[in-house]
Amino acid sequence: MNMAENEKKQAPAKSDKPGKETQAPEEGAYFPLFFSLKEKTVLVVGAGKIAARRALSLAEFEANVLVIAPDGAGQMDEMAREGMVRWEKRHFEDRDVEGCWLAVAATDDPAVNEQVVRLCRERRILVNHAGDKSQCDFYFPGTARDGNLVVGVTASGKDHRLAAQATRQLKVWIKQLHKEN
């Protein structure tokens, strides 16, 4: 490829509006979307380390987090004691998805995770399968937050290390920004 062809390939896409240019998204890039979880029921099936991390993220944004798992990590016990989540220590049942706004399948049992995904898809409930990104309707972004200022970071499932590095740097930047204002 010669230099002119390379420049043309890297040039921003032209908008249909005069004077406006837009960057063409990379194939597979995810659209960032922010919405309120306040008082919405979110189901987390599983209570291990990954499930606990996901439940904590959701609880920090005021979701009503319902955890279904017969046992799990100490962190989940602590969140339940503090009232951050409601943990029903039992096996998942089909009826558990009813009334949920979104769900997380994060057990160590692939059959249960697949069952959660299937039921949620049948009921048009957004679902995240912690062990299989191809079964996810959404990803958990890296989050940098200071009060109501929230920055979400994703590499669209393609480079977790890059997204984690960007999140760490944004957390530092947000703290500095807050101090300056």
pLDDT score for 6: 42
**Which amino acid is it at 120?**
C
Sign (positive/negative) of CA torsion 141, 126, 74, 115?
Answer: negative
pLDDT score for 76: 97
- Rounded CA-CA distance 119/154 in Å is 26
Are 159 and 153 a contacting pair, CB within 8 Å?
A: no
pTM assigned to the model: 0.80
DSSP class of residue 134?
G
Pair of tokens at residue 110 = 């692939």
pLDDT score for 9: 45
Nearest C-alpha neighbor of 60 from the set 152, 181, 154, 147: 147
Tens-level pLDDT at each residue, the chain (181 residues): 444 444 444 444 444 454 445 555 566 788 888 899 999 999 999 999 999 999 999 999 999 999 999 999 899 999 999 999 999 999 999 999 999 999 999 999 999 999 999 999 999 999 999 999 899 999 888 899 988 889 999 888 788 899 999 999 999 999 888 788 7
- Coarse DSSP helix, strand, coil percentages of the chain, rounded to the nearest 5 percent: 40, 20, 45
Burial class of residue 33 (count of CB atoms within 10 Å of its CB; 0-12, 13-18, 19+): exposed
Sign (positive/negative) of CA torsion 112, 152, 157, 75?
Answer: negative
Number of C-beta neighbours around residue 62 at 10 A: 12
Sign (positive/negative) of CA torsion 161, 165, 166, 168?
Answer: positive
